[in-house]
Structure formats: C-alpha cells, structure tokens
Amino acid sequence: MTLHSNALRDHACLIVHGPDQPGLVAAVTGLITRNKANIVTLDQYSDNPEGGAFFQRVVFHRPDLSAAMPELEADLEKTLGPYGMTWQLTDQSAPKRMAILASTSDHCLLELLWRHRRGELNVTIPMVISNHTNTAEDVRSFGIPFFHVPSQGPDKSAAEAEIVKLLAGNVDFVVLARYMQILSDDFLTNVGVPVINIHHSFLPAFIGAGPYKKAKERGVKLIGATSHYVTKDLDEGPIIEQDVARVTHAMSAGDLQSRGAYVERAVLSRAVQWHAEDRVIRHGNQTIVFT
C-alpha cells in the first residue's frame, strides 16, 4: 500500500515470537494499553496451540513515540522476559536502508527503483552495486548512487570484500536483483544483514542455473519465480513469495525468460515490501508472512 510518511509518524511495529503459552496476547496488548498506545493492526499465528511456536506482529500508534521508546523497550523486556519470548520493536517512520546488487539484467532493479519513486516501498536506497556498468545511467537518473564492482575470474574474494566495505554500517538489508554471482558464506557472515534473492524458477523446481531452459525441456505449462532469504545453501533459503505465469508449447526458452521477467519483478517487489514493513518472520527454513 502506498505509504505517506505522515501516516507512519508515531507508529511502531512490534514482532514477538517464541513458545506459545496462555496469556501471551493479553500480556502484549495490556502492555500496549498501559503505555498509552492504540493498536492499529494485530496479526498472530501459532503453529500449534499446545506447545507450538507463537508469532505476533502488532502495529500501534503512540503519540511522541521517539520519546517513549526507551520506556516501551524496558516494559517489553520486563513483560516478555518471563515468557522466554524474542521481540523486536521498530519505529515505522524510520525506513529501512536497502542496497541493491544487480548485474546486466535491469528488470528487477528498475521495478524496485520505480516503486520506490512512487512511494510504495518504505525504504531508502543508499546505493546500487553492479558487476556491470550498463545500468549506471538509469540508476543515477533516480538520484541513487551507483557503484561498479567488477567480478572477474574465479576468486571473488576481493570483489566481495569491496562490496562488504561499501555496505558496512550503511544498510539494513540487501536485495539481489538478478545479481548473477554466487556469494560466499563469508560474504553472508560479513555483511551481517538479511539478503533477499529472486530466483527465476518456481523453487524447488529447477534449482541452479538455466531454469528457463530446463523448464522448456521439461515441457512445463507454468513458469514461476521465487523470492527467498539467502543462506549458505544455494536456492534453499526460506521462501518469502512465489508466483507463476502460464506458458505454452509455442514459446521458446527465450520467450519463457521474457515472460518470466514480469513474474520475477512482481514477486521480488512483494517480498521486498513485506520485508521492509516487518511482515516476514523467519522460522527455521520457513517464513511466517503477515500480509
């Protein structure tokens, strides 16, 4: 939904998760009330009411939120500690800082820049990094810094180090918008923030390289795209969003790629928006998504 910065002033998002147990919802909502805040939306999920895991997302409005944050955090610690819950409180008027990594393909990159310009993504974009230069002019026309970090040869460690240096302390999450380099485990560790990828297949079908070619060979009637958090297991991280498009025998692998580009950009956009709005909670290799 279109975001108006004013509409988010004094709004906080609270994420709570941990072992489900009676009284939890009352404890959280009671806390919000006694802190003079008003609940705007509340979503929750328990994967098993008896002894399962509990997940909750509450957006509330609290006049003079910034001033009240320390008190709120102290109360949360005191209230949720005894329940053994993990929690995270974010001021929604402070957008997350998102870096985009791209290669030659521009469709996912431009879609994100465009939606951002339309005010539909609650993020700032401090930088775009690419191992190619073809998108530099487009990126800069959106008023966003572009950095070129080439990635040649088998040893990617220098390039990865340069990227980490650019990102360090400057971003809250990273989006791989068809970035065609496999990142090392070290990179993921060093970058230290969530990394979201878009894979050009309906995972777990057609894992790895060349999914549209594989889809054509297998003769599938639908192609898809998957956005997921990157983990050290390639194409195996927690899935955030997926979608598909219908294809026919008359389409070539190139046609599939062209058609698929529109699925990719839609799927990645939704995943990024949901992550930016703290709607996605990772749970093992799965996600809870409160849309």
User: Which residues have a catalytic role annotated?
Assistant: 235
- Is 221 a binder of a copy of itself (CB under 8 A)? yes
Alpha helices by DSSP H, listed for the chain, are: 5-8, 24-34, 65-80, 107-117, 136-141, 157-167, 185-191, 211-218, 253-276
CB of 166 to a copy of itself, least distance (A): 26
* 246: its two tokens: 């219908």
- How many C-beta atoms lie closer than 10 Å to residue 63's C-beta? 11
If the CB atoms of residues 171 and 225 are measured against a copy of itself, the closer one turns out to be 225
- Is 1 a binder of a copy of itself (CB under 8 A)? yes
If the CB atoms of residues 2 and 152 are measured against a copy of itself, the closer one turns out to be 2
d(CA 39, CA 270): 24
d(CA 80, CA 168): 31
Question: Which residue, chain included where needed, has tokens 């956005």?
Answer: 227
Binding track, positions 116-155, relative to a copy of itself; x by CB under 8 A: --x-x--------------------x--------------
- Is 49 a binder of a copy of itself (CB under 8 A)? yes
- Is 250 a binder of a copy of itself (CB under 8 A)? yes
CB of 21 to a copy of itself, least distance (A): 8
If the CB atoms of residues 185 and 217 are measured against a copy of itself, the closer one turns out to be 217
CA angle 271, 258, 250 (to 5 degrees): 125
Question: Which residue, chain included where needed, has tokens 């080439």?
Answer: 150
d(CA 148, CA 146): 7
Residues near a copy of itself (CB under 8 A), total:
65
List of residues contacting a copy of itself (CB under 8 A): 1-2, 22-26, 29-30, 32-33, 36-46, 49, 61, 107, 110, 114, 118, 120, 141, 202-206, 218-222, 224, 238-244, 248-252, 254-255, 257-259, 262, 266, 285-289
